[in-house]
Structure 1
Amino acid sequence: MEDRVSTRVKLSILAVGLLSFTGILIETSMNVTFPTLTKELNVSLGTVQWLTTGYLLLTTIVMSTTAYVLKKFHPLKIFIFAASLCLVGTLVCLFSPTFPILMAGRLLQAIATGLSTPLMFNLIFEEIPPAKLGLYTGLAGVVISLAPALGPTYGGIINRLWTWREIFVGVIPLIVILFILGWFTVRGKVRGTEGISFDYLSVVFLAAIFSMVLFTFDQAGKHGWTSSQFILWIIASVVVFLLFAWYNKKSSRQLIDFSILKLPVLRLRLFGYFSLQFINIGLSFVIPIVAQTALKMNSAQAGLTLLPGSLLGALLGPVAGTWYDKKGALPPLLTSGILITVGSALFWINSDNLSFVTITLIYIVVRLGFNFGFANSLSDGSVQVTGRKKSDQNSLFSMMQQYAGSLGTNVLSVVISAVALTSGTNDEVINTLMGAKLDFILLTVLSALVLLSVIYIYYKYEKKNN
């Protein structure tokens, strides 16, 4: 009976999880509408891309505050605030006549997602017994991993059949239902913030660092990897990061207790968690670009290449979590590392011969690898800490996985842009395929490093304890 999970707890996690799902779904749905929005709202592509970049950046910043927020406020109050902002932001977007108003609505939705995602995991860590932790984090991982891949399909079909505004119409009933469900089911407790004050300066530092890193890579896309602009922004970003590290070490106030990163297993699980999301979101950006630009698919077809892998991966998430509960971290994480490395390498090897079928089949391999490892990396990271530090671990992992999506999109898009600067040809198809091939090489190397981290943890820390 100790391992029994009540219906009320299940419904509370469902309500908060689907609220996160809604925010992420809208974010990736909007990507395929950019060409339409540039014409209707009379703005450039560089400007309209802030609907995604600004959203992801603010979500990341909000998540950085949740270690404090989850200790300070009752979970129900956080949920009501997040759901209300999501609804208001959706209505603002739906009726927005201009780009600034649409951007304002997207930022309200970003705050909602930034609160709801860590809250979902906090409810799991607080109310789910250890024997079922892997199963429920696997289910939660489905929320985070499925929405980005379904978004292009949903947005592409809606935009093709109606207009971009119907993307928001479709989620309003769901938000209202989730608000009501969460009102009656979300519970929990307040850990308290005695002796802890909110660290506003850390928020400013993190916002500056995250923004500067994105802007640094933008310089490479505009001026090249060897440009003085790119190098100067690297130096500036490193300086600000070092200042933040110094401040965090000396200050009595801490937004997040970064001392948990001294735990080697947690640190490497965070690397795996971040890298898997970087690969996941990065591919959900690159594949539609290649499909539409090089293979001449429409937006709906491009989105559909991601659908089979996304659905199979979603079905696998709870299975992978149960495997973790029964056998420990090594079997699912090793399988994850192998599959995602093989999948990324197949994209690289077949980059000149991609088709609807090959993209779909290889993406299935990648998504299976992703879902074997993503939520289980979080689960294994969470058991490394106890007490109040669980909120810090939750906030840190949530913040970094969100930023991984932003950085993945940014870096992989910059690689394609930089190729166009140096290729010596104006052929968009050739430049896109060359840039995508470099992206696939990058993702293959990153996947291999994730695999090596799993093997290293086992032989260095886990084998001796078995």
Structure 2
Amino acid sequence: MEKAKIRLLPAVLAAGIMSFSGVLIETAMNVTFPTLIKEFSISTSTVQWVTTIYLLVISIMVPFSNYLIKNFSIRKLFIIANLFFIAGLITDFVSPTFIILLLGRILQGISTGIALPLMFHIILTFTPIQKRGGMMGVGTLTTSIAPAIGPTYGGLLTSILSWHYIFLFLIPILLLSLCLGLYAIPEIQVEKSSFLDVISLLGIGLLFSGLLVFLNQIGTLNSLIPLLIGLAGLAIFLHQAAKTSQPLVKIDVLKNKVFVLFLCGFLVCQFLLLGISFVLPNFVQIVSGENAFVAGLVMLPGAAIGAILAPISGRVLDKYGAKRPVLIGLSLAAIGWIALTILLNIPTLLGFVIAHVFYMFGIGFSYSNMMTSGMNLLTQEEYGDGNTLFNTLQQFSGAAATSIVASVINIFQQNSDDYLKGTTLGSQVAMIILLALLLMIILACLRHFRSTNK
């Protein structure tokens, strides 16, 4: 009875609009980095915290949301998340300093950290399994549309007005989300089924914070301390997971090797998405000398292709299984990525656009299907923990990718007599590192599908 009360599609869209807004700002702000560097007199490795701190907060909030979803109604959580996001938008619109800008990003991260798992929770709980691929595609579509318009949106406003207006113009979108959610999501009572494992949450916070600071400072003597803090956080989390009867996240699902394969594949796709969204817009502005608007336009066609393919690829999965869309998608992504890496030596805007479209065509077929295929391997009792792992590690991997790419580029910029040549070489090295991860996942997936013959 209770499940029938929810209006599924508008409910997914309402939560998805918040996730969309978060990804939109994330990709919109990436093209403003050269502007922010000049305005606040900061370095490349510092400016990336606009994205990294946002993703860090989401990484910590998603496991916490696993507890929240088990103990509070989805309607209440939706409203709270929406209000946090609006508060973050207002904070960043008026922010006079870099620190205030980061504060607003933290508020937005809290909201998105609730909205993302909430959206997938609604899909997994209320959608029949035979239609799940299509609905997961719809859910992914709301977030994958954002990278299609984010860089152009951010570049246009930065060039015409100011980066502050990136936040102002999203307030009506969040109000639309709020109205849609109030209409579609009923008040469904939840039987409280778990307590909050504060020690595990502390461990996750130390783990992700320590590792991200380590990645940001990699190559310096100061990087050892945050690495040790991160490892201590991991030890705390694993100890609690084994000790307590109701851990924040049950990691037993990681015993399923095929689930782990699809999880890793999904995370590598996220690495690539966030990596290229940092490398390409900054390269086009710094090396090619174009403005933020042009840098955004370069990303637009490819991101649009990825967004369009998200729901289509889900239906392909429902009809044919995971093998075709995943293997074809990853192979096309690798070809496009190699082309982008080569083009950094002979940069042409049209070449970047074509290679990025090719790469995003592959990501469109493989990205969301990795998550759907992994989640389909779990029982209904494991959905919450599987969903938490996917969404938590998705955000952390995005933050890690941004930190790694920014740190690599920054190292080459500082150690080169020619800033432009340093930027080019650093960008290529960062792309090659991520390409190695993609090739390893392709080989692992080939081995799996050959062994199962599916």
**Interval of TM-score (by shorter of Structure 1 and Structure 2):** over 0.9
> What's the secondary structure of 2:248's corresponding residue?
coil
Superimposed CA distance per residue, residues 78-119 of structure 1 (whole angstroms, 9 cap, x where no aligned partner): 111111111222222223344444333222111111110111
Return the letter of the residue paired with 1:202.
S
> What's the secondary structure of 2:162's corresponding residue?
coil
Partner residue, 2:29? 30
Partner residue, 1:445? 436
Partner residue, 2:72? 73
Contact 1:344 1:447 in 2 (8 A): no
Contact 1:217 1:410 in 2 (8 A): yes
1:67 is displaced (CA, Å) by: 1.7
Identity fraction in percent: 32
Whether 1:248 aligns to 2:256 is: no
> What's the secondary structure of 1:306's corresponding residue?
helix
Return the letter of the residue paired with 2:94.
F
In 2: Cα distance, 1:173 partner to 1:235 partner? 43
> What's the secondary structure of 1:388's corresponding residue?
helix
Where structure 1 has 5 or more consecutive residues not aligned to the other structure, the ranges are: none
In 2: Cα distance, 1:417 partner to 1:104 partner? 24
Return the letter of the residue paired with 1:339.
L
1:296 is displaced (CA, Å) by: 1.0
RMSD, matched Cα: 2.2
Contact 1:72 1:191 in 2 (8 A): yes
Closer, same or farther in 2 for the Cα pair 1:100/1:414, shift >3 Å? closer
> What's the secondary structure of 2:195's corresponding residue?
coil
Contact 2:205 2:233 in 1 (8 A): no
In 2: Cα distance, 1:146 partner to 1:66 partner? 24
Taking the TM superposition and a 5 Å limit, the aligned residue runs for 1:288-437 are: 288-422=281-415, 425-437=416-428
1:205 is displaced (CA, Å) by: 0.9
Taking the TM superposition and a 5 Å limit, the aligned residue runs for 1:155-304 are: 155-187=154-186, 192-194=191-193, 196-220=194-218, 224=219, 227-230=220-223, 233-235=226-228, 237-304=230-297
In 2: Cα distance, 1:235 partner to 1:68 partner? 27
Contact 1:68 1:193 in 2 (8 A): no
In 1: Cα distance, 2:238 partner to 2:70 partner? 23
TM-score if structure 2 supplies the norm length?
A: 0.93
Return the letter of the residue paired with 1:272.
G
In 1: Cα distance, 2:357 partner to 2:33 partner? 27
Closer, same or farther in 2 for the Cα pair 1:179/1:399, shift >3 Å? same
In 2: Cα distance, 1:270 partner to 1:159 partner? 36
Partner residue, 1:152? 151
Closer, same or farther in 2 for the Cα pair 1:187/1:404, shift >3 Å? farther
1:352 is displaced (CA, Å) by: 0.7
Contact 2:69 2:118 in 1 (8 A): yes
Closer, same or farther in 2 for the Cα pair 1:235/1:87, shift >3 Å? closer
> What's the secondary structure of 1:385's corresponding residue?
coil
Contact 1:145 1:280 in 2 (8 A): no
Closer, same or farther in 2 for the Cα pair 1:105/1:419, shift >3 Å? closer
Return the letter of the residue paired with 2:428.
K
> What's the secondary structure of 2:217's corresponding residue?
helix
1:6 is displaced (CA, Å) by: 9.9
Contact 2:6 2:186 in 1 (8 A): no
Q: Could you tell which deviates more after superposition, 449-458 or 47-56?
A: 47-56
> What's the secondary structure of 1:305's corresponding residue?
helix
Closer, same or farther in 2 for the Cα pair 1:48/1:451, shift >3 Å? closer
In 2: Cα distance, 1:340 partner to 1:205 partner? 35
1:231 is displaced (CA, Å) by: 5.1
1:63 is displaced (CA, Å) by: 0.8
Return the letter of the residue paired with 2:302.
G
> What's the secondary structure of 1:256's corresponding residue?
coil
Q: Could you tell which deviates more after superposition, 413-422 or 303-312?
A: 413-422
1:170 is displaced (CA, Å) by: 1.2
1:404 is displaced (CA, Å) by: 1.5
Where structure 2 has 5 or more consecutive residues not aligned to the other structure, the ranges are: none
In 1: Cα distance, 2:377 partner to 2:405 partner? 32
Return the letter of the residue paired with 2:375.
S
Contact 1:79 1:116 in 2 (8 A): yes
> What's the secondary structure of 2:196's corresponding residue?
coil
Superimposed CA distance per residue, residues 43-73 of structure 1 (whole angstroms, 9 cap, x where no aligned partner): 6346554332221111111012122111111
Q: Could you tell which deviates more after superposition, 82-91 or 356-365?
A: 82-91
Closer, same or farther in 2 for the Cα pair 1:51/1:412, shift >3 Å? closer
Return the letter of the residue paired with 1:391.
G
